[in-house]
Chain A
Amino acid sequence: MSEIMNLKAKLGLDVFKPYAEPHITIKAGMEKHHLLKRAVLVCPAGLYSENAGGEVELSIDGCLECGTCLVACGSEVLEWHYPQGGSGVQFRFG
């Protein structure tokens, strides 16, 4: 649990501008798809988690827009776009 808190704190250091709408969504009916479980392991921001019912959930706040979830899971299970211009993470160091 401390690791997760740690990560939230780290993400809190970044500059994020609000999205008009989530730019990544789990495709309907794919929540339990085995490919989606990969996202839980690869997301550097820890935004994916598996609930007790075996469904993968995505919380988009804190997305670093690296695209690793898209490459790991594929467009079969994820609807993936970059956020609209002028929204999302804005790195100050990079």
Chain B
Amino acid sequence: MEKFDVIVIGAGLAGLAAAYTLAEAGAEVLVLEKGDYPGAKNVTGGRIYLNPVRDLFPALWEKAPVERPIVHEQVALMARDRSLTVSYTGDELKGPEANSYSILRAKFDRWLAQQAEKKGAMIINKTRVDELIIEDGKVIGVRAGGDELGADVVIAADGVLALTSQLAGLRGPLDPKHFAVGFKEIIELDRGIIEDRFGLEGDEGAARLFMGEVTRGKFGGGFLYTNKASLSLGIVVGVHDLTDRAPAVQAPALLDEFKLRPEIVKLISGGQTVEYSAHLIPEGGLKTMGRLYGDGILAAGDAAGLAMNIGVTVRGMEYALASGYYAAQAVLKARESGDFSAEGLKVYQQLLNDSFVMKDFQSFRDAPQVLDYPPLFEHLPELAGSIMKDLYAVPAGPKERIYPSLRRYLTVKEIWDLIKLGRRMMKI
């Protein structure tokens, strides 16, 4: 059996970050990727927040092929017949180190793989890992494409389904309550049109989130990100809400309806859809994470459940990059003692705990429960829309005084519900 220091399953952000870091430190690392090229199976909604990971890979970011720095943020409450949009821009979003960037993974992951290869990592594409080789309870390698390949440590960076982690007994079956499904179209549009339409200066980008009617009141929302010469337009919706919350609707119909909204039609007009993709997102947070390490194995990225939705920021890619980095650091520490058992690898948990990764997951451990609140997605967008309607209306006859028309919507019960919502939100 051919033997490597480390085998990484999956050339996504977690796996490539681990391979890059390990190879840079001189370890012999093999990455196995089932797609034709790194990124071929990888999907994002679209944006990455780089600030938390800039220092982990200082040499990477100057040339990283991201799309546009996001300097215009909008969130829209979508009622059935109207919408209310909050728009935010500020100097803090801009600059050479912008807060977030739109990104396309096929391009980005391919580039990151090249950087890892330059450091000495070996990446083999078109190769699916079929099984773990486990001896006396310890992972000692993988079976892939008919070959047996050995390693001191296997890093499971095989994505959201965590199939490898389940084989290693690190986690049990997945619960639909803890996952959302995202699906999107890439819509090609001339750069100049994008910049005019979204009011962008040159390379600047915009992000727009939409909640309410776009998911028929189910947990989730719509999103739009501007890339260099395309738009990423899609829907994210809770899997459990799709299966168990009325009205019953087939997921793809939500995106079709979204595209027909007047707010969206004018933004995508003239564009050409060139790809349709989907991705499952682990949104259960800290309480639903399995174990992240075992004998001879570490889990990173989506496979470790490291994604988080706290409303206007939906994050995962920087946690993937960071967990890959810390997995690599843990392996390097374990190499010093030659102990690749769970005991030797548990430093991984400590490294994550001391980093922004687990600090964020601790801080926002209640977010999934807080946000799993139907009025937020059903009632609130309608209420906000109705208030706007009356506030702005100038009817044919006399206009009603503002206070009584507001009171029609903001009844005692309504105000009490809003206070309760506020109290829920205090946990985030």
Contact = CB atoms under 8 A, between A and B. Distances in A.
A5 to B, nearest CB: 11
B252 A94 contact: no
Q: Is the interface of A mostly helix, strand, loop or mixed?
A: loop
B36 interface: yes
Contacts of B36: 17, 86, 90
Given A64-B277, A82-B34, A3 B105 contact: no
Contacts of A88: 41
Interface residues of B, number: 54
B174 interface: yes
Contacts, number: 144
A75 B166 CA distance: 12
A23 B116 CA distance: 30
A71 B174 contact: yes
B397 interface: no
A11 B276 contact: yes
Interface of A: 3, 6-7, 10-11, 13-14, 17, 38, 40-46, 64-68, 70-72, 74-75, 82-86, 88-94
A74 B276 contact: no
A42 B275 contact: no
A72 B39 contact: no
Interface stretch (B92-100, B124-132, B263-271): B124-132
B249 interface: yes
Given A68-B179, A75-B173, A93 B126 contact: no
Interface string B389-425: 0000000000000000000000000000000000000
B274 A67 contact: no
Given A38-B243, A66-B280, A94 B183 contact: no
24 contacts: A6-B256, A38-B243, A41-B243, A41-B250, A42-B242, A44-B181, A45-B278, A66-B43, A66-B279, A70-B161, A71-B175, A71-B239, A72-B176, A82-B34, A85-B34, A85-B144, A88-B41, A89-B41, A91-B277, A92-B106, A92-B274, A93-B230, A94-B40, A94-B42
